[in-house]
Structure 1
Amino acid sequence: MQRINLIFVCPFFFFYILYLMQKNNKERLPRPGVVSSSSVASARKSRKKALSVVMDNGLVNVTLSVPEGMVTGIQYNGIANLLEERNKENDRGYWDIVWNLPEAHGNIFDKLAATSLNVVLEDENGIELSFTRTYDDSIYETQLSLNIDKRFILLRGYPGFYTYGIFERLEGWPDINVYQGRTVFKLQEKLFEYMAVSDERQRIMPTADDRARGQILDYPEAVLLTNPANTFLRGEVDDKYQYSSDNKDNRVHGWICPDPPTGFWMITPSNEFKTGGPVKQDLTSHVGPTTLSMYFSTHYAGEPLALTFRDGEPWRKVFGPVFVYLNTLQENDTEPLSLWADAKEQMLIETESWPYSFPLSEDYSFDYQRGSASGRLLIQDSYISERLITGNSACVGLAAPGDAGSWQTENKAYQFWAVADSEGYFLIKNVRPGNYSLYAWVPGYIGDYKYDFYVNIRPGNRITLGALTYNPPRNGPTLWEIGIPDRTAIEFFVPEPSPRLMNQLYSVNQAEKFRQYGLWDRYSELYPSEDLVFTVGVNNYQTDWFFAHVNRNVGNKTYVPTTWQIAFDLDNIDFFGTYMLQIALASANEAELQVRINNPDEEAPYFTTGTIGKDNAIARHGIHGLYRLYSLEIPGSQLLFGRNIIYLTQSRGSSPWRGIMYDYVRLEGPPEYT
């Protein structure tokens, strides 16, 4: 095997690419040397026979297979390969997509092996490689009908590398469904044992072998560790979904090797290319040790987040770049955990540098090509205040045109979000050119806001929208309310887990104990024969309203529907007026919510949602999925003087995970009710 070296020499820095060329003879490897431009051209012509390409900037060395574009090795800090060499070369660092044809029953897992390599740039400041695969319509039944361009960038002086991808469909191509797209890195298990997802969620993790020796619980991802190598972990549950995060919180996560002290981090400087908006949840890092960058998936949302292409729909989108950051301890620093603090600092640097100036794809949008939109969001609710209320902490964003709230299931375009200050002022920066709708939602208020006009962003535009007024759904004065309208069930009662099904991390971190395994069955233990009854003015939603309306386990893995009651008293009724019951759901999974008023035995419910949702947030330890709001008009004639009861039935049984999470429930009187 012969190695051809391309070296570029400049003051205080060298940068080179190594092409490993397959030869029958086994000549001694030549020493690196400076080559001419003609040699460079000659090497490029031979790339089809190459086995791998190596990028090295003196700090990090990255090896990729040719032409597939799989990351097979990462050399850093004296470690020959950070990636797990026991895995096959296409199972260490890769992009992948899960997809199928509309008429197919099973899914196809495609690691996006490329068929061609192009060196886009190579100079003293860095290099960009492009691994491409072009769709061939002659074999479409077995090939993903997308053009794939995977890019890798190594810059001078940077301890890490960037990766981004461009996916393209041309008009007329076959229909497909695409469910997941991501970048995956699988690290050496013997080196990386400590995982960090946030300040509160970090710990020594079990190994894949620990899981293999454990007991699989209700689904394969959840394993009870019965005989781990680290006895401290015995009796704990490991489940990758326990480490999910909202897009807005998923900026940096990864692993620490204690000896030699080395950090491997996935940094996401922007969420503009992710689907489902800022509160869409997805995976981060988990046992493997595995680090992910999830660009889109159906997790915590279901089919609405699948990318469905029909009738030859064209499409093109850039995902990333994301930054794989590597770090080690500074001089005189002996604490490996300081690598997490350094990774967070680097995340802030990357975020402030967005959009990057160095990607060379013509589809990437630079800062001078982008615009911004600013304004102020105010709330008008005369039943709370006669004056306009500032949209404190409102989440305001630009996304593809659609109905109010449609951003949470939008999955093909870009989204740009900002959080308003305490006075409701917002600035949405770095927006790619295009035509958008402006959306918002405000903590403390139900519903979704949509601006009446489109926002057309052009390069260099700084659009000032002025004061915008949101009128949240409201029929009359609040008679009573349960919960806080924040799109999650976090404020409700989350029980302690079964002592034999705990993750110690969330025993310490009580704020996120909803991530414990098996909480759905705790309802049956707390309410073994009679369901939850909540009496307004007596009970407290923080202690008396279970966080998820789930089925009851009656034994032998049999789950039956449950009916909750809201009891309240009315001393004054407007029999000719219209009352309004506002029910905001934080999640639903193959559920049906039926509402009955003062008559639990009435065969036809007063209202039903029908079957809704495939969020699966109950099983996957999420405290929310997709947001839904139902406004039910109730004639005063349906109500009684004195005690009234609203019956809430989740009517779909048979599964522990069929259920809903309430965000907020409110009964409003008629407009003139006193």
Structure 2
Amino acid sequence: MKLPTVALGLLLTGISLAKQHGFLKDNGDGTWIIGNDVWNMTQEKIYGSKLYYKDQELVGEATGHYVSYNGAASNLAWTDANIVKTGSNYIDIQFDAAEGEMHWVIFNGLAGAYQYFVNRALPVLGEFRTLWRLDNETFTSAYNADKDGVLPPLSEYAVSTKIQDETWKTPDEGYLTKYDWSGFVREQEYWGVYGENFGSWYLKQHPGKDYFNGDHLKQELMNHRESATGDVVQLNMIHGTHFQALSNDTLPNGKIWGPWLWYLNNGIKSDVSLRYNNEVNSWPYKWLSDASYRSRIASVTGKLVLSDGRPAAGAAVFLGDNHPNKTTLDMGSTYYYTTYADNDGSFRFTDVRTGVYALQAWSNGSPIGDITTTYLKNDINVSGPATSKLRLDKLTWSVPASDTVFQIGDFDRKSTGFAYSGGFGAGRVDNCPANLTYAVGSSETSDWCFAQNKIGTFRIAFPLPASNITSNNTSDALLTVSLAGYSQGTTVNIFCNDVRIGNLSSSGILSDPSLYRSGTVAGEWHQFEFPINGSRLKTSNTIDFRVASLSSSLWRGPIYDAIKLEWI
């Protein structure tokens, strides 16, 4: 619902400058007004409301802007606000809460503001976010790199049946869920909500995403319709957990999330794209003088070569916690850098904060999609002046020799290539059959389904030459099963020629919500090895993945990455 327009001049009563640029006005009642001569917002103890731009109020009956952690029950309450820095064309306004400082850097004439948060006393996280809840008549559509379109109206929720976790079944047997509006955070240039005349956006310039937790496959909810109120939600999960099994991060005093640009416009995405390119060219921002932010070097480069002589072409490369005790997806205490190797194995990180890191790398698919191991190099000391360039020696990635019998899919921690994989879609696993047979030598990768969630059997049928099968000299084999994700409740028993060799179950695998929250590509990665006694193998063989039990909840089970059988 739109509120009546209030002239900007009324809001600026009591501010002395004839032409006002960035400003902070203390109302004396525990509220403040911030903005410039383009936009302004009233900040209350918790919520930022009454957002005016182009003489229109954009929050309406929605909640507005706020900051919270570990769920909405822990909203930050602002106790004070001050201008802590003034430049020739901007001001930096700091709002204080017990947990830390929220900054709005407002430039003259800019429709929006740069934002960043400095930790002072946040608890172990979990979830930390900033967000806007905006007027649902003004903002009718949402955009991120994975999905663009009209948000479902609140009326559609009213006629649908809720089945689980913010997910509804519609009268036409489809599904309605906010999780369809998720995305891979490090692939985003910008995201936001928009309508016919207005848009509200977050711009996250590359490489300025080092404050995010997680690795290349970090996914987060980005936009949605709030099912209870109809508010349009522009979500900024700067430390998110929506698609992870674990996230318990102790945060150092002074950690900075951001800065990012919150940007208002006429709703045209091409304008946002142009603005994004401008932000990339301006990174790192010269106006932020925090010592830890400024303490960075120009680049860290290196070249990865496999021990079998191949370059680590296309490998996912990650710079993160030194001597890690968490997976790369679950890291989140400090700062993290992601890139991909070139065809010759060369990689490059730019604008890296000083510190001591570990470098990790893993296959991102062809041409090294057969590699099951992860490269790790600890104690990488990033130090020196801003112009420094750290060049690592040629790095040799030790990989075992492999005598492969068959492989289904590439080892890349994703379900890419399998049937129905790709993007976000509630209930996509419903399309996967209860039973399928993959015939080695004739089936295609796309004949295997990305996930398994019905009582039945996924079978791999494969022949072996008679020369491999003798009574006196039979080699043992190793079955490697890599999961791109796993949602607990479904148990899959694994058989070789009807002899059980292992299982995939909740008792041994941490659960992530990806499969039941619209994910079809990745969640938490897991890899398992199952030895097979050579005496069990014949000239004609089967490996079965048999679902032994199902959760009473929908869409639980494994998301497959790759399966490989090799002689050992």
Q: Normalised by the size of structure 1, how large is the TM-score?
A: 0.74
1:295 aligns with 2:238: yes
2:33 partner letter: V
Contact 1:392–1:420 (CA under 8 A) maintained in structure 2: yes
2:495 partner letter: R
Change in CA separation of 1:314 and 1:418 when aligned onto 2, cut-off 3 Å: closer
Change in CA separation of 1:599 and 1:237 when aligned onto 2, cut-off 3 Å: closer
Partners of 1:570 and 1:123 in 2: how far apart? Answer: 73
Contact 1:126–1:155 (CA under 8 A) maintained in structure 2: yes
1:421 aligns with 2:342: yes
- How far off is 1:448 after superposition? 4.8
Contact 1:128–1:152 (CA under 8 A) maintained in structure 2: yes
Aligned to 2:7: none
Superposed CA offset, 1:238-285 (max 9, x none): 311112111222221112221xx2221111122211111121110111
Aligned residue for 1:407, secondary structure, equals coil
Partners of 1:424 and 1:404 in 2: how far apart? Answer: 26
Change in CA separation of 1:123 and 1:402 when aligned onto 2, cut-off 3 Å: closer
Contact 1:433–1:457 (CA under 8 A) maintained in structure 2: yes
Aligned to 2:228: none
Partners of 1:152 and 1:119 in 2: how far apart? Answer: 9
Aligned residue for 1:350, secondary structure, equals helix
* Aligned pairs (5 A) from 1:322-333: 322-328=260-266
Aligned residue for 1:351, secondary structure, equals helix
Q: Normalised by the size of structure 2, how large is the TM-score?
A: 0.87
Instruction: Flag structure 1 segments of 5+ consecutive residues without an equivalent.
Output: 23-48, 100-107, 135-146, 171-175, 227-233, 329-335, 382-387, 495-510, 553-561
Partners of 2:66 and 2:292 in 1: how far apart? Answer: 21
Contact 1:15–1:124 (CA under 8 A) maintained in structure 2: no
Aligned residue for 2:21, secondary structure, equals strand
Aligned to 2:150: 204
Superposed CA offset, 1:135-177 (max 9, x none): xxxxxxxxxxxx321111111232211211112349xxxxx65
1:82 aligns with 2:58: yes
- How far off is 1:201 after superposition? 2.4
1:17 aligns with 2:23: yes
1:649 aligns with 2:553: no
- How far off is 1:539 after superposition? 2.6
Aligned to 1:92: 64
1:551 aligns with 2:454: yes
* Aligned pairs (5 A) from 1:106-121: 109-121=73-85
The correspondence for 2:158, drawn from 192, 213, 219, is: 213
Aligned to 1:505: none
- How far off is 1:119 after superposition? 1.9
Partners of 1:20 and 1:318 in 2: how far apart? Answer: 26
Change in CA separation of 1:18 and 1:627 when aligned onto 2, cut-off 3 Å: closer
Aligned to 1:580: 478
Contact 2:487–2:516 (CA under 8 A) maintained in structure 1: no
Aligned residue for 1:15, secondary structure, equals coil
Contact 2:24–2:93 (CA under 8 A) maintained in structure 1: no
Change in CA separation of 1:592 and 1:404 when aligned onto 2, cut-off 3 Å: farther
Partners of 2:24 and 2:502 in 1: how far apart? Answer: 71
1:462 aligns with 2:389: yes
1:666 aligns with 2:535: no
* Aligned pairs (5 A) from 1:493-642: 493-494=419-420, 512=422, 515-523=424-432, 526-527=433-434, 531-542=435-446, 544-552=447-455, 562-571=456-465, 572-573=467-468, 575-590=473-488, 591-600=490-499, 605-606=501-502, 610-622=507-519, 623-640=521-538, 642=539
Partners of 2:167 and 2:457 in 1: how far apart? Answer: 29
- How far off is 1:458 after superposition? 1.4
Partners of 1:426 and 1:7 in 2: how far apart? Answer: 54
- How far off is 1:420 after superposition? 2.2
Aligned to 1:64: 43
* Aligned pairs (5 A) from 1:211-290: 211-224=156-169, 237-258=175-196, 261-269=197-205, 270-287=208-225, 288-290=231-233
1:131 partner letter: F
Tell me which structure has the larger Cα radius of gyration: 1
Identity across matched positions, percent:
23
Pairs aligned (count): 538
Change in CA separation of 1:213 and 1:153 when aligned onto 2, cut-off 3 Å: same
The correspondence for 1:160, drawn from 103, 112, 125, is: 112
Partners of 1:318 and 1:350 in 2: how far apart? Answer: 18
The correspondence for 1:482, drawn from 408, 415, 425, is: 408
- How far off is 1:545 after superposition? 1.4
- How far off is 1:223 after superposition? 3.0
Contact 1:371–1:458 (CA under 8 A) maintained in structure 2: no
Contact 1:133–1:148 (CA under 8 A) maintained in structure 2: yes
Change in CA separation of 1:4 and 1:14 when aligned onto 2, cut-off 3 Å: closer
2:484 partner letter: A
Partners of 1:164 and 1:345 in 2: how far apart? Answer: 22
Aligned to 2:285: 356
Partners of 1:2 and 1:300 in 2: how far apart? Answer: 42
Superposed CA offset, 1:5-45 (max 9, x none): 34557xxx7425352535xxxxxxxxxxxxxxxxxxxxxxx
* Aligned pairs (5 A) from 1:278-427: 278-287=216-225, 288-302=231-245, 304-307=246-249, 309=250, 315-328=253-266, 339-360=268-289, 362=290, 364-366=292-294, 369-381=296-308, 388-403=309-324, 406-427=327-348
Superposed CA offset, 1:206-225 (max 9, x none): 22x32442213421522345
Aligned to 1:39: none
Contact 1:297–1:306 (CA under 8 A) maintained in structure 2: no
Aligned residue for 2:271, secondary structure, equals helix
Partners of 1:315 and 1:14 in 2: how far apart? Answer: 35
Partners of 1:18 and 1:488 in 2: how far apart? Answer: 47
Contact 1:5–1:16 (CA under 8 A) maintained in structure 2: no
- How far off is 1:205 after superposition? 2.1
Instruction: Flag structure 2 segments of 5+ consecutive residues without an equivalent.
Output: 1-9, 226-230
Aligned to 1:40: none
Partners of 1:177 and 1:592 in 2: how far apart? Answer: 32
Contact 2:78–2:95 (CA under 8 A) maintained in structure 1: yes
1:492 aligns with 2:428: no
Partners of 2:204 and 2:296 in 1: how far apart? Answer: 21
Partners of 2:274 and 2:540 in 1: how far apart? Answer: 57
Contact 1:210–1:225 (CA under 8 A) maintained in structure 2: no
Superposed CA offset, 1:159-196 (max 9, x none): 211211112349xxxxx653211111012111111222
Change in CA separation of 1:450 and 1:401 when aligned onto 2, cut-off 3 Å: farther
Partners of 2:96 and 2:531 in 1: how far apart? Answer: 56
* Aligned pairs (5 A) from 1:159-178: 159-169=111-121, 177-178=124-125
Change in CA separation of 1:418 and 1:17 when aligned onto 2, cut-off 3 Å: same
Partners of 2:425 and 2:253 in 1: how far apart? Answer: 40
Superposed CA offset, 1:24-77 (max 9, x none): xxxxxxxxxxxxxxxxxxxxxxxxx44222221x22223322xx3632133222
- How far off is 1:588 after superposition? 0.9
Aligned to 1:188: 135
Aligned to 2:14: 5
Aligned residue for 1:490, secondary structure, equals coil
